[in-house]
Amino acid sequence: MTTIAVENPATGAVIGTVPDLTADDVAAAARRARDAQSAWADLGYDGRAVVLRRMQRWIVRHTDEVIATICSETGKAYEDALLAEVSYGAAAFGFWARQAPRYLADVRVRSAQPLVAGKRLVHRYRPMGLVGVIGPWNYPLTNSFGDCIPALAAGNAVLLKPSEITPLTSLLLAEGLRECGLPDGVFEVVTGRGATGAALVDEVDMVMFTGSTSTGRLVAARAAERLIPASLELGGKDPMIVLADADLERASTHAAYYSMLNCGQTCISIERCYVEAPVYDRFVELVTAKVAALRQGVPAGPGSVDVGSLTFPPQVDVVDRHVSEALAAGARALVGGQRPERRGHWYPPTVLVDVDHDMAIMREETFGPTLPIMKVPDADEAVRLANDSDYGLCASVFGGDLERAEQVARRIDAGAVAVNDAVVNYTALELPMGGAKPASGVGRRHGREGITKYCRQQSLLISRWHLRHDVHTYPYRPGRSRLLARVLAVLNRGRRTA
């Protein structure tokens, strides 16, 4: 069997190998999963919640081991793994165990239609069957494994294809699920490259994809061939707007943190910043000092570094291209801006000014530790530039007058907008999250849709009356039909059928 070597991107050392599974291997895993699914669904919400809650505690007990695995295959800082992965994952197990029965409970529907008067109408959710999850490398727990949790809570079997760059975290957590009593076959990690992901789409009843816009398009096309639903969480180029009355300390701290978090490899990173002219100089001065003070290096436990390495080797080339092209076109780097000669995959935290909207760094997803800042005359121009993008994932607005800041936030074409904050909205599992423009994805994770999308829907109509005929059924009779016509005309004139 061919294998894939997994590298620690911060050091360049090979830390493991995983199988590169073929389409036949994926088909065999899908058969095992389908065999196991109905018993898992039959356990009901309470039975499944027992396993999910055990896994929540398992993650807490194994925090150090999970963080070490995440850091070793991503190169990210300890705190990035603790806050944005381990704590998210543990919370998600508890959240979906608790919320699945609420979000998926039968809904009694009332109808104003006279033909269904007196009948019971119910809308309900059933598991899809076999869900396929395909994940990226930037958050191996949160973005790959995280989407499996609601799918399992809904009663599905799940096949996860993690990124070939970071498969070890998913394998470790699969081990945890087994220890917590998840029946064999219900969840399986199928490791491999893009071809394995494509084979997965051919086997499942629904696919949840997180990754780049270009791969998302391929996954959507393949899912469309089979007429299966696809939920897509794709790229972003999130704008931050700083209004003149903003608290500049808070705004600059958040700009530095949420542009450099996870070395900038977050789909909802702050990737570009627009600042109203009166506060531009002071804001730039504050951000520059905060970014210059960041300690970047190989993570070695709590508090050891602020920023780790990049995870995906080719990403360094993308970041380098965006920065060098911007510098060549007249931008200035106030911090960083040069690719270092160093073993592993590194780019320094970088702040750029004198940028404009013709530059790739303002238009394409950089996915690295960069913060380009532009001066704007007013909020209208900031909103215009924020919306001048194919992407629309998240955004943030900082301002002292909350009402005005919220009005600005409501004008941004993004799936989620934070006021005087950024990114942290992602941790609110009750709050739906997803793209507002196709390049950022289709569908939502979190909230009700974050689990109903893993279900088939069924509408039930239950007639309780033991009449031989309903008023509208055969045999048609002139008198009854005229009466019916008059009744329907009266009802349709009024508001009852609105």
Q: Which residues are catalytic?
A: 233, 267
Contact range with ligand NAD by CB under 6 A, out of 87-95, 106-114, 205-213, 330-338: 205-213
Does the footprint of ligand NAD cover residue 167 (CB under 6 A)?
Answer: no
- From 111-119, 180-188, 191-199, 448-456, give the range in contact with ligand NAD by CB under 6 A: 191-199
The residue count for binding ligand NAD (CB under 6 A) is 31
Task: List the interface residues with ligand NAD, window 213-242 (CB under 6 A).
Answer: 215, 218-219, 233-236
Cβ 163 to ligand NAD, closest distance in Å? 4
Min dist. Cβ of residue 427 to ligand NAD (A): 13
CB of 72 vs ligand NAD, minimal distance in Å: 18
Cis peptide before 19 (omega within 30 of 0): no
Residues in Cβ contact with 28 at an 8 Å cutoff, skipping those fewer than 6 apart = none
Q: Does 138 bind ligand NAD (CB under 6 A)?
A: yes
- Whether the CB-CB separation of 393 and 440 falls below 8 Å is answered with yes
Q: Which is closer to ligand NAD, CB of 267 or CB of 275?
A: 267
Give the residues across from 127 on adjacent strands: 455
Among 9, 129, 211, 308, binds ligand NAD (CB under 6 A): 211
Choices 44-52, 195-203, 297-305, 319-327 (CB under 6 A): range interacting with ligand NAD: 195-203
Q: Does 169 bind ligand NAD (CB under 6 A)?
A: no
In 120-268, which residue ranges form alpha helices assigned H by DSSP? Answer: 148-153, 168-179, 194-201, 213-226, 248-260
Interatomic CA distance for residues 224 and 210, integer angstroms: 17
How far is it, in rounded angstroms, from Cα 277 to Cα 283?
Answer: 10
- Contact track, ligand NAD, 341-380, x by CB under 6 A: ------------------------x-x-------------
For residues 136 and 169, the answer to whether their CB atoms sit within 8 Å is no
Query: Do 430 and 276 form a contact (C-beta atoms < 8 A)?
Result: no
CA atoms within 13 A on the CB side of 2: 8
Peptide bond into 348 cis (omega under 30): no
4 is an interface residue for ligand NAD by CB under 6 A = no
Is 391 a binding residue for ligand NAD by CB under 6 A? The answer is: no
Applying CB under 6 A, the residues found at the interface with ligand NAD are: 134-139, 143, 161, 163-164, 193-194, 197-198, 201, 210-212, 215, 218-219, 233-236, 267, 312, 365, 367, 393, 441
